[in-house]
Copies of this chain bind each other. A is one copy, B any other.
Amino acid sequence: MTRVVRVDIAHAPYDILIGKNLLSVADRISSLLPQPRVAIVSNTTVAPLYMQPLVASLEAQGIVCQQIILPDGEKYKTWESLNLIMDALLTERAERKTTLIALGGGVIGDMTGFAAAIYQRGVPFIQIPTTLLAQVDSSVGGKTAINHPLGKNMIGAFYQPRLVLADIDSLSTLPDREFSAGMAEVIKYGLIDDPEFLAWLEVNMDGLMARDEVLLAEAIERCCQNKARIVAADEKETGQRALLNLGHTFGHAIEAGMGYGVWLHGEAVAAGMVLAAYASQALGHLITQDVERVIAILKKTKLPVVSPSLGGAARFKELMAQDKKVDAGRIKFILLRQLGEAYIGELPESAIDSALLAACEADK
């Protein structure tokens, strides 16, 4: 049974389909195309697994498919890779009505979406996320970007897809480490504003980690519903959408500080959420048992709960100051009033120090 989540953005509503065997059913895609022509962007890991059935299914409907294969990994989420997409589209004379399809994880989705936003000032775009992280988070809501050496996701656009196809079959080939990384974003939704879901995750995490398909579909649907609700209310992140960045200001510092791709995004977010929990405790919102509960569920998913020190608190803070959530030099943090209730606020220096002390590995 295919589950459908509607993303009700006023100017461009669209559906997320969650189910099995979606990749080989092109009907839903073809009905959305303004011309029978697509360019599918994937990477060297995902393409050998899923490109062929997708292309076969589309070609059977008379759709011309261009394939663009990029190297795999966060460190390739760059200008250079974006340019490879542009070069390929222009060489093949892709047109304004040619639809770009992202087939892959968060990196492919972010880059393909950004390419769709800027090629000829914008062409249609469809997301086919193949990782857990992309299915529950990055493929939904229209945030697209590339990294810059001075900061993660610093160059990009808000640009909505016309459809998201989340095929849980594709999770079967996902390496354990990637699967765990996706689970960080799943847990995030529970911590932000869905304490009931957090409790459900605690009960069902063993089954989820065993990749039980019914539980997975249930979790993905719940995450997408939560994200759709938040994004529909605040597409451009002028307010509450920022809550989705729980753990991300700390996490982006880890990713940039370690070098993009050394830690997976979800791993950095996991360690970042622990830091946010400690900081929230320093502010007097959480008690020790709350922080331990956060750590416990992350540990169950094999995610890191201790952050690298990045050379000390001064350097860690410098990296965080490069975040997008900075206003007049002050970083806006996502903090926890309690588990299942996040808010946007500032952190006094002392609370940051105390969190770094509690959650970072000792400096050598």
A326 CB-CB contact with B under 8 Å: yes
Q: Once the chains bind, are B95 and A328 in contact (CB under 8 Å)?
A: yes
Q: Once the chains bind, are A93 and B321 in contact (CB under 8 Å)?
A: yes
Using CB atoms, name the residue of chain B closest to A90. Answer: B150
Cβ contact of A97, chosen from B120, B153, B236, B327, cutoff 8 A:
B327
CB-CB under 8 A from A150, the residues of chain B are 87, 90-91
How near does chain B come to A362, taking the closest CB pair, in angstroms?
30
How near does chain B come to A262, taking the closest CB pair, in angstroms?
21
A263 CB-CB contact with B under 8 Å: no
A148 CB-CB contact with B under 8 Å: yes
Q: CA separation between A293 and B83, bound complex, in Å?
A: 44
Q: CA separation between A326 and B155, bound complex, in Å?
A: 28
Within 8 A of B (CB), among A73-98: 79, 83, 86-87, 90-91, 93, 95-97
Q: CA separation between A5 and B35, bound complex, in Å?
A: 38
Cβ contact of A148, chosen from B86, B95, B121, B156, cutoff 8 A:
B86
CB-CB under 8 A from A35, the residues of chain B are 327-328
How near does chain B come to A322, taking the closest CB pair, in angstroms?
7
Q: Once the chains bind, are B93 and A154 in contact (CB under 8 Å)?
A: no
Q: Once the chains bind, are A120 and B154 in contact (CB under 8 Å)?
A: yes
Q: Once the chains bind, are B327 and A93 in contact (CB under 8 Å)?
A: no
A168 CB-CB contact with B under 8 Å: no
Q: CA separation between A154 and B87, bound complex, in Å?
A: 10
A25 CB-CB contact with B under 8 Å: no
Within 8 A of B (CB), among A302-325: 321-322, 324
How near does chain B come to A96, taking the closest CB pair, in angstroms?
6
Cβ contact of A322, chosen from B87, B90, B119, B328, cutoff 8 A:
B90
Within 8 A of B (CB), among A57-109: 79, 83, 86-87, 90-91, 93, 95-97
Q: Once the chains bind, are A117 and B157 in contact (CB under 8 Å)?
A: yes
CB-CB under 8 A from A86, the residues of chain B are 148, 154-155
Cβ contact of A157, chosen from B87, B121, B148, B328, cutoff 8 A:
B121
Q: Once the chains bind, are B157 and A145 in contact (CB under 8 Å)?
A: no
Interface residues in chain A, defined as those with a beta carbon under 8 Å from any beta carbon in chain B: 35, 79, 83, 86-87, 90-91, 93, 95-97, 114, 117-122, 143-145, 148, 150-151, 153-158, 236, 321-322, 324, 326-329
Given A117-B157, A118-B157, 14 additional A-B pairs, CB 8 A: A93-B322, A95-B326, A95-B328, A96-B326, A97-B328, A114-B118, A118-B156, A119-B155, A120-B324, A121-B145, A121-B153, A121-B157, A121-B324, A122-B157
